[in-house]
Structure 1
Amino acid sequence: MSGGRPSAGRAASRREGPVLAPVFLGSLARRRMATLFSLAAIVLGVALGMAVQVVHESALGEFGRGLRTLSGQADLQVVGPRGGFDEALYARLATRPEIAAASPVLEIEARLTGRDDSLTLLGVDIFTLAQVSPRLLPRAADGGDRFAALADDAVFLGEGASQALGLRAGDRLRVQAGSEPLALRVAGDLPGLEAGRRLAVMDIAGAQWHFGWLGRLTRIDLRLREGVPADAVRAALQADLPAGVLVQVPAAAEDEAANLSRAYRVNLTLLAAIALLTGGFLVFSAQALSVVRRRTEFAFLRALGLARATLFRWLLAEGVVVGLVGGVLGVGLGHALAWGALSLLGGDLGAGYFSGLSPRLQFEAGTSAIYVLLGGLAGLAGAWLPAREAATVSPARALKAGDEAALGDGRGHPRLGVAVLLASLPACLIPPLAGLPLGGYLAVACILAGAVLLLPALAAGLVRLLPLDGPVSARLAVARLAAAPGHAVTAAAGVLTSVALAAAMAIMVASFRDSVDQWLAQILPADLYVRGGKASGSAYLDEALQARLAGVPGVARVDFIRHDSLRLAEGRPPVALIARPLAADGSDLPLVGRSVAGEGASQVWISEAMQDLYGGSPGQSIELPLAGRPVALRVAGVWRDYARQTGAVMLDLAAYRHLTGDRLANDAAIHLAPGASADAVAEALTGLVAPGVLEIARPGEIRALSLRIFDRTFAVTYLLEAVAVAIGLAGVAASFAALAAARRREFGMLRHLGLTRRQIGAMLAREGALTAGVGVVGGLLAGGAIGLVLIEVVNRQSFHWSMDLHVPWLSLLLFGGGLVALAALAAVVAGRQAMARSAVLAVREDW
């Protein structure tokens, strides 16, 4: 007999399914507003996370396809700094017995004359290219010279470059070579190149000659002989390479790009996860209040023989259905948002990691399924506690009139909340794992969880501070909050989460923006800045032009700046090298911490990112590859750099030129003589060269442009903040709609006692304001703590930037006050239907 009971139970459950489905799942349709708000929150959370994931995967996919096209059949690549390396290395490598073919490459980011844009130009050896990267082979135009690929002024454009520039065979491609314009003849196309790549190819000898790269290469692609192990060859080749030149597999560049943008993507994804978490709170709020309203219904079902476990499962099913539907809709909306983001912001979401790419939207079935599942889990988590409470209440208690207004004792778990909050402190000390600040994320989760657990205690404390005199509506609102804090806690949980997110991001962004503004003011001390162009591979200031710039009337002093890069470790992006005139004590740098600067040319200043990634403290010695040889330098200090998260080192220009022999410059900082006109000097500077060659800007213009780029970078963050606020208000509206419907008998009794609809409306407004106020106070406190974690832990470990704390007090106060006012309005609007019922009919429901 005992063996047959489980089978009988399962059979009964199967028979109950079709009967109970309209009772439980139909409840979602009956409480349309609460269901809609819960659904919308989950949709937004899933959509934002899905959009970030799709955009990033599309950009990485496009980036990887381009790298595979460029590398072709290469097994290994020899890469060096931005300034390249001696081409004599090619001859040494090509004759090694392990190498089947070697293809030299000179990659130049060529600035388009008169335009703030550039084009990737590859100088290649046409004879070795066919053996390693045949897809890059150029094709002469119909009727053109069959040997055009060997001409030093011929260039071949990929379809993407041809369409973007509006050029075809026979036209002239005008680029900048040094400080002079250069016209190259479009001699054909690249038939093996994908349409989305903006790329051009020309003979390597012509590229070296025209752009001043004689005897220099930036890359050598290697194809190994059959059966030769790549790992063994890599080790042997690396031992024979000069300092700063590395041998790596072609996929390493793709991994570098993925690692570089990973922290930014993960941070955005976790912000979307917080929005999804807030959606789970809305499901909890809606389900908890639904359970309160349906206690009598559940009591009758229990009396008719419905098991506790069955009731528990069906209530969970309600939450899961909302979550899964929200997940499916969110995945669809996420792809739509991704399409818009790719169109407006590009594949980098405005952060500059994949600039110049035009990624194609990709649908990933596995990723989409994961996000649908996350939506279902959010619904399940939100419905768990209300379902358990409903299943544990006895039918006799649930049938008692008036019990529908009860919603827990509202005492919460203050001791557990304090313990969880304290756990955030050691979490902040966890070092980054795989470059991700997992300890910081754990600390944020602990702060949010602890704040929610302490919310009842916070509500009780605020009630004790409120006066008990004043209008009747005010006293009733305070008395209700004191007698039934569970109602306020349920409604305020979503408010607290959304306010905490918005406040934390506001503090972090304000601190970051203020620090960037101060940093720009310190690193831009000159009156004018002259640049040959962002494309430092083709645009530079030679010695003759430097002398002419210094001799312009009205110029008191010129500080020339040289940019390069250093390859310090395999698998990591290059470190920026900046050479400029520096004070001996580094006082003209935005220093952080102590410095041990002294006299001599053997000192270097490193950025915070450089220190975090490679080590080195003031006074210690580090080895840098300069001009192909290792040079020992003493760290004089650490400086703040918001432009490069991969690390940067700064040398005095005179020391750099002594160590490398490089006399070129990329930028010039112009200090004007007293009384000189900036406009007149700028006009004289531009007249030194052909029109459109030099870019001249004032510090204010550079600061304004930099801050605009900053704001664009955080555009997605601002969107998440707006979503958080909308979700918080939706939670208040949904909670008070359900509570007002459950309290219609209470409203009827108050009407019998003489209160007017206006007074009841005022009471609801005060209740809404008090409820939102509890959430806002808790959210601001939690948001302040989370903001500190974001500043001191998450951003430092993700991007290696420190910043000064700047709290936007006025904005936060206006935001909190506005949210409280909107919550009061939402409570009144939500309760109007219940207040409109006849007082007599409302009271008779209790008879």
Structure 2
Amino acid sequence: MRLAPVFFGSLTRRRAATLLSFAAIALGVALGMAVQAVNQAALTEFGRGLRTLAGAADLQVVGPRGGFDEALYTQLAARPEVAQASPVLEVWTERIGSTDTLRLLGLDLFVIGAVTPALWPRPAEIEGQSGHEARFAALAEDSLFLSAAAQTALAVKPGDRLSVYAGSQPLELRVAGDIPGAAEDRRLAVMDIAAVQKHFARIGRLTRIDLRLVEGLDVQAARAVLEPRLPAGVWLEVPQAAEGQASNLSRAYRVNLTLLAAMALVTGAFLVFSAQALSVVRRHTELAFLRAIGVGRRQLLAWLLAEGAIVGLLGAVVGVMLGHGLAFGLLRLLGGDLGAGFFAGLSPTLRIDPWATGVYVLLGVGAGVAGAWLPAREAARIAPAQALKATDDSVLSQRRGYPRLGLILMAAGLPLCALPPIQGLPIGGYLAIFGLLAGSILWLPMLASGLARVVPLRGPVPVRLAAARLRAAPGMSAVAATGVLASVALVVAMAIMVNSLRGSVDVWLGQILPADLYLRAGRAQSGGVLNEALQARLADVPGVARIEFTRHESLRLASGQPPVALLARPVSPDGRELPLVGSAHAVAEGETAIWISEALHDLQGWRPGDRVRLPLAGSEVPVQVAGIWRDYARQTGSLMLDLADYRRLSGDHSAQDAAIWLAPGVDTLSVAEALKAAGGSGALEVTVPGEIRAISLRIFDRAFAVTYVLEAAAVIIGLAGVAASFAALAAARRREFGLLRHLGLTRGQIGVLLALEGSLAAGVGILGGLTVGGAIAWILIEVVNRQSFHWSMDLSVPWLSLLVFAGTLATLASLAAVLAGRQAMREDAVLAVREDW
């Protein structure tokens, strides 16, 4: 440890470079830690809510959103494998006059005590209510029991009346008590199942059955016996399956945000590399002296790596603390889903995970060591005699990088991009991105050398000196450009990807929203429907030229998989109304055509022309895939079939949405009011396509808000890297500047020289960053997003924005170089060169 002050003291002497590297690592760790902490908190809260709802159930019978025949409950309850069965009917409703939604469970109050005791309703003592009425309050058709969170959100208490929508009709209920076992932040309501079936027109329907098996019976053995007795589209699942499905749904979004945080961490590693490389330049005499007095190469290498490790450790510790603070703010601002909508309605509590914290600390230390590795290795390999004779900046002046290794890393990205996803994650795409970044850094000196040959040695003296220096010392320009390349690559890649996705979503919205008005029964997940009589009244509203109805349903194609969305609407045989990917497949006469989303194509492996069987109305129906369409709204997959085919196959003639084309010359607002009045209850919502598009794009921007923060941070880090690099180089070149002053150059001309060198160094990084960023954007679009979210998109490059960004960054880099080198310009010329006399 006697050498510790020599090496660790160097970190305090070059405070600007050390602080910059520290800040970059802290930022990367903080962002990654925040994403991890927020998602873990959301998953924990989601799982806790599921365990409350599942109670002591060993298995759950689940089916489509519309439910299944309650006769299945009688059959399963009589099975010898089942000790207790609890039927559940789940609906969503909303308070009349507001947008507050409420999850309502219809339960058999005689059996929930044995299966889900946490949902047992507790009648309240209400003034004027007799003891007999209180005992049987739970069975009354108008009794509603609310969790504490629901009572707070709806501003009601026991004894109050609450008006909600039952489908599209108003329903007045009485708050009869609470649900003491419900999670304190879970908005939940419980009613007798018979009352829910009656009020919400679900007679004979269930959405779930909770099963508690007989003592000692294995769950898998019970599934093997019971599953063959289930109708098509109804499956047996363990209660934990929904938690796993939610985790899988959010995993790709979480991992991609973590990847962006990792790119910030990689940028920090590059800045550590830059700082350490310049430190070696300034300390080459000191390091050579240590070698001369007996410090071995391995010992020198270890101490230089320890410098990087210290920076990484300090940055990681601070980053972990900032990450938890950032996570707290994100939970308040964006919720547990970070704006993506996976865990809407949850209020997770942030908890510190020591294992995750330890992993991110190690990542920070690893980034510091990785950044210090090459400079430490080169410093250890230089002969002491050569280093003692070399000038301050000659150590890096002829550095040509590792072009062969860089080429190998970049070329390896092509086969990696062809790898299929692993556990639903584009691991090959991530590795290809890392290879591109690392390979481009190793290629950077070669790029600087090539650019130097293009720059002419003509013009004013500062211009010729800057060009000559780039030719003679491309290694130093490459070191200064390292952080710029990494940050520019991140910004360019995200800008191209987000611009492409946003433009594709905008075009997609225009294709799927061709009508003049759109109507739906209720908001959000309220489950309101348009019956046949109401559909007829809507079609007869004056000013309506044409109306098309849509039915939404969900199907469970396999056990353990999340439901797939089913959309039934009028579709022509060639699917021209849909945003198709590729051409349509002609369906044989007599066949039922379906149109599948890209996600369903990827997840199920279905292709146009395939004949598959769908679970509809409790039986399997043969259909043929007619084509693939883009659907940016449903990550788990969706399929569409003609409304007439759906009604023929299912017998269900209800609808939830309507697309309305108006007659020429009619007033849009007047027709919208007439449509609402036709519903009679105020439950119908009418909007124009422009409003839907604006809301959708606002949600899109909210989901990508975190990426914009990362881009801004990357630019700031890149500029700070240029400033720190040129501050170190300017200090190392003090004798050169003194000699130039003796030869007649003014301080202003040296300032111009530094500005030009800053522009050239930044130009090398910008040129490399634009190229690498474009390649990374292609990987993000064609590999990462395709494998993570099953989206395709049309490439859209914001050329003007990128050109303005590149020019602005080069200008700012010039200013940063001048400001960083101003101290060297102020130094007296005689003092600067006296070491040479």
Same-fold call, TM > 0.5?
yes
Deviation string for 1:535-564 (max 9, x for gaps)? 455311111211111110000111011100
Work out the CA distance in 1 between the residues paired with 2:311 and 2:405. Answer: 30
Among residues 75, 79, 94, which one is paired with 1:96 in the alignment?
79
Q: Are residue 570 (structure 1) and residue 575 (structure 2) matched? A: no
Q: Which amino acid in the other structure matches residue 447 of structure 1?
A: L
Corresponding position: 1:146 with 2:135: yes
Instruction: State the distance in 1 between where 2:511 and 2:390 align.
Output: 71
Q: Could you tell me whether the CA contact under 8 Å between 1:294 and 1:404 is conserved in 2? A: no
Q: Determine the structure 2 residue equivalent to 1:11.
A: none
Residue number among 18, 29, 36 corresponding to 1:35 in the alignment: 18
Is this contact kept in 1: 2:161–2:173, CA < 8 A?
Answer: yes
Secondary structure of the 1:406 match is helix
Alignment of 1:351-366 (within 5 A): 351-366=340-355
Partner Cα separation in structure 2 for residue 660 and residue 733 of structure 1: 68
1:126 partner SS: coil
Letter matched to residue 330 of structure 2? A
2:814 maps to a residue whose letter is A
Match of 1:214?
A: 203
**Which residue is 1:277 aligned to?**
266
**CA–CA distance in structure 2, aligned partners of residues 401 and 558 of structure 1:** 83
DSSP 3-state at the match of 2:98: coil
For 1:540, what is the secondary structure of its paired residue? coil
The one-letter amino acid paired with 1:734 is A
Are the equivalent residues in 1 in contact too, given 2:101–2:526 (CA < 8 A)?
A: no
Q: Which residue of 2 aligns with 1:66?
A: 49
Specify the alignment match of 2:771 in structure 1.
781
1:845 is aligned to 835
Q: Contact conserved, 2:83 with 2:214, CA < 8 A, in 1?
A: yes
CA offsets per residue over residues 180-201 of structure 1, 9 Å max, x none? 1212111100111111111111
Which residue is 2:175 aligned to?
186
1:551 maps to which residue?
Answer: 540
Q: What CA distance in whole angstroms lies between the structure 2 residues aligned with 1:674 and 1:103?
A: 55
Deviations along 1:657-686, one digit per CA (max 9) or x if unpaired, are: 111011111111111112111111011112
Task: Give me the whole-angstrom Cα distance separating, in 2, the residues matched to 1:723 and 1:775.
Answer: 17
* Residue 487 (str. 1) matches residue 484 (str. 2): no
Deviations 1:510-540 (A, max 9, x none): 0100100000001001100011124455311
Q: Deviation per CA, 1:328-358, whole angstroms, max 9, x where unpaired?
A: 0000000011011100000000000001111
Matches within 5 A, 1:774-813: 774-813=764-803
Task: Provide the rounded CA distance (Å) in 1 between the counterparts of 2:162 and 2:562.
Answer: 31
Q: Quick one: distance in 1 between partners of 2:292 and 2:408?
A: 41
Deviation at 1:322, TM superposition (A): 0.4
Answering whether residue 744 of structure 2 is matched by residue 754 of structure 1, we say: yes
* Residues 82, 218 of structure 1: 8 Å contact kept: yes
Partner of 1:254: 243
CA-CA distance at 1:427 after TM superposition? 1.0
1:765 counterpart (755, 778, 783): 755
3-state SS of the aligned residue for 1:592?
A: coil
Distance of aligned partners of 1:315 and 1:502 in 2 relative to their CA distance in 1, 3 Å threshold? same
Is 1:76–1:222's contact at 8 Å kept on the other side of the alignment? yes
- Paired residues for 1:441-590 under 5 Å: 441-536=430-525, 538-590=527-579
Q: Within 5 A, what are the aligned runs for 1:150-549?
A: 150-400=139-389, 402-407=391-396, 409-536=398-525, 538-549=527-538
Cα displacement (A) at 1:742: 0.6
Once the two structures are superposed, residues 79-128 of structure 1 have per-residue CA deviations (whole angstroms, 9 ceiling, x without a partner) of 01000000000000001011111000011121232333311110000111
Matched residue type, 2:36: Q
1:640 lines up with 2:630 in the alignment: yes
Q: Secondary structure at the match of 1:709?
A: helix
* Shift of residue 403, structure 1, vs aligned partner: 4.1
| Local SS of the residue matching 1:108 | strand
Matched residues in 2 for 1:597 and 1:706: separation? 33
CA contact (8 A) 2:169 2:681 kept: no
For each residue in 1:616-636, what CA deviation from the matched residue of structure 2 results, as whole angstroms up to 9, or x when unmatched?
211110110000100010111
Range with bigger deviation, 219-228 or 384-393: 384-393
Structure 2: distance between partners of 1:553 and 1:382: 71
State the Cα distance separating 1:53 from its structure 2 match.
0.3
Aligned-partner residue type, residue 147 of structure 1: F
SS at match of 2:328: helix
Q: Deviations over 1:253-282 (max 9, x none)?
A: 000000011011111101111110110010
Deviation at 1:398, TM superposition (A): 2.1
> Secondary structure, in 3 states, of the residue corresponding to 1:260?
helix
CA contact (8 A) 2:12 2:18 kept: yes
Q: Given that residues 31 and 261 in structure 2 are in contact (C-alpha distance below 8 angstroms), is that contact kept between their aligned partners in structure 1?
A: yes
The alpha carbon displacement at 1:600 in A equals: 4.6
Residue 730 of structure 1 aligns with which residue?
Answer: 720
Q: Distance in 2 between matches of 1:662 and 1:822?
A: 64
Match of 1:137 among 117, 120, 123: 120
| Alpha-carbon separation, structure 1, partners of 2:392 and 2:139 | 90
Q: Distance in 2 between matches of 1:86 and 1:846?
A: 95
Secondary structure in structure 2 of the residue aligned to 1:572 = coil
- Give 1:12's aligned residue: none
User: Is the Cα contact below 8 Å between 1:110 and 1:535 reproduced in 2?
Assistant: no
Once residues 597 and 179 of structure 1 are traced to their aligned partners in structure 2, the CA distance between those partners, rounded to angstroms, is 39
Q: Report the 3-state secondary structure (helix = DSSP H, G, I; strand = E; otherwise coil) of the residue aligned with 1:531.
A: strand
Q: 2:90 aligns with which of 82, 85, 107?
A: 107
RMSD across aligned positions (CA):
1.3
| CA–CA distance in structure 1, aligned partners of residues 591 and 190 of structure 2 | 41
User: CA offset at residue 456 of structure 1?
Assistant: 1.7
Is 1:689 aligned with 2:679? yes
**Partner residue, 2:613:** 623
On the 8 A contact 1:617/1:635 being kept in 2, the answer is yes
Q: Secondary structure at the match of 1:687?
A: helix
Equivalent in the alignment of 1:741: 731
Q: CA separation of 1:272/1:444 partners in 2, compared to 1, >3 Å: closer, same or farther?
A: same
**Which structure 1 segments of 5+ residues have no match?**
1-16
Asked whether the 8 Å contact 2:121–2:145 carries over to 1, the reply is yes
Q: Secondary structure at the match of 2:76?
A: helix
**Which residue identity lines up with residue 264 of structure 1 in the other structure?**
Y
Higher mean alpha-carbon deviation, 482-491 vs 537-546, is at: 537-546
Aligned length: 830
Pairwise CA distance, 1:401: 5.4
Q: Residue 345 of structure 1 aligns to which amino acid in structure 2?
A: L
Instruction: Verify the 8 A CA contact 1:211 1:538 in the aligned structure 2.
Output: no
Query: Does the C-alpha gap of structure 1 residues 392 and 454 become closer, same or farther in structure 2, counting only changes over 3 Å?
Result: closer
1:691 is displaced (CA, Å) by 6.0
The Cα of 1:845 is off from its aligned counterpart by 2.5
| Pair 1:669 & 2:652 matched | no
**Cα pair 1:109 1:538 within 8 Å, conserved:** yes
Q: Partners in 2 of 1:90 and 1:313 — Cα distance?
A: 69
Q: Give, as a single letter, the amino acid of the residue that structure 1 aligns with 2:803.
A: L
Matched, 1:84 2:73: no
